[in-house]
Structure 1
Amino acid sequence: MQPLLRIGHAEREAAVRELGEHYAAGRLDAAEYEERTSAAYAARTAEDLEPIFADLPREQPTVALRAPAATVAVPAGHDPDAPYGRDPVTGRPYSDRIKVIAALLQLFLPFGTGRFYTGHTGIAIAQLVLVAFGVGVVWSFIDGIVLLAGDPTDPEGRPLRP
């Protein structure tokens, strides 16, 4: 003998939806609909649902239909590998970091801040250490101009967003 399989909330909801269709078609009156709906919500196994539909026509001989799976609408042209778009010249996906922000951080906070932002911690630490000798400030300033005028990338090689 096979053990009775328990049903979940989705199966109970499917049974209630099917009862609603029978009620709308006039096969059940309000009292029968309420009684059978209560029984459907109280059902624990698929066998508990069978008597509820014994005298009703069913397209599907199974106990209850699963609720349709929720689908997520994906916008047209969305590329999951490039959530921030692609560089039109190289086709590489853009980084999550922004070029102008990196350059402005590097120019106005000349302690390697822009390089920390882009993820190049080695360069950023070198600039921070060299600030004590005065060289780091000049290097950071020139690096900020290079970031703004050039094609900087993040540590994964993705170009920074314009």
Structure 2
Amino acid sequence: MRVGTTEREDSMRALGEHFAQGRLPISEYEQRVGAAADAVTRGDLRVLFADLPAPHPPFLVPPTWAAPPPQPLPYYPPVNQAFGPPVPYEMMPSDKSKVVAGLLQIFLPFGVGRFYTGHYGIAIAQLLTCGGFGIWCLVDGVVLLVSGGHDGEGRRLRD
């Protein structure tokens, strides 16, 4: 890579520091300063500092890469060892009972059991169709009693 006046002057300044510290005799200093003034590429200047310790011109010093900042450790909430990990809300049993829902559906047709469980769409459909003339509500009540079901939030009905 070609160098400009600034790089040449930086090189001469660094050679002057080496001369001032006694690392270069005057004849070698003059020779190296002359070579720095005539340099065309960075390679020409790098040769002048090959046997000298720091300081070097800033453009000859390889960049130092900073280490990335340490990553924080992931946070895991404490687990109660006596009872195990917390249960997600969807996995918790409902506060509504399948027996109550089934009996309401059988003995009070028109979707009362479905209103109880929170399934308002089905309840309104049963109300508008008179519970499928009572058959839909009867079958739905038996199904709720036998297999349970879920409430309007997706949680399993209690036994």
Larger radius of gyration: 2
Q: Same fold (TM over 0.5)?
A: no
